[in-house]
A and B are shown apart, each in its own frame.
Chain A
């Protein structure tokens, strides 16, 4: 049982480039999330999904897109990368909604946009 896995671990992008951050969970959780973590700011919710085919915006969705074609996978797409997207990105999942349930986090992707 690997839990939540993310790839890549590190990435450097040039301004204007695009990339996809991959996230997979093997716990059969319906709920999945993408957060970004900036120093001194805690975690901010980018997008979330309550099941395959259902996604919605979180607090900071601008510049990102997601899809959820399967229960296991929840990729995050960055289009036209900007320096403001330099951050650490975490994928997470839970059985029930996050306000009442434990979230299980992946190890993170550290992204730098230059």
Chain B
């Protein structure tokens, strides 16, 4: 079983749609959680950190459920520029700063 699991997609949605991605992690000791965005043939870039209380950044909302070891990302009012691969990432801080990535979920927003 992979440490971080995501649905690879692709999710094909029209502009303006709301789309949600989910992710599960297996290491209950994980302490930090992130969503990264990766464009084709580019490096991953931090989209947002994820907290138990939930956090929002514009059209993006992230939620963490520690009991279920589940992380989600909601994108509202999708834009063409949101097309990318979204990587769910956890950090077991007891092991330094080692990030464990999911395989990514590909999103394609169409006109």
A and B part of one assembly = no
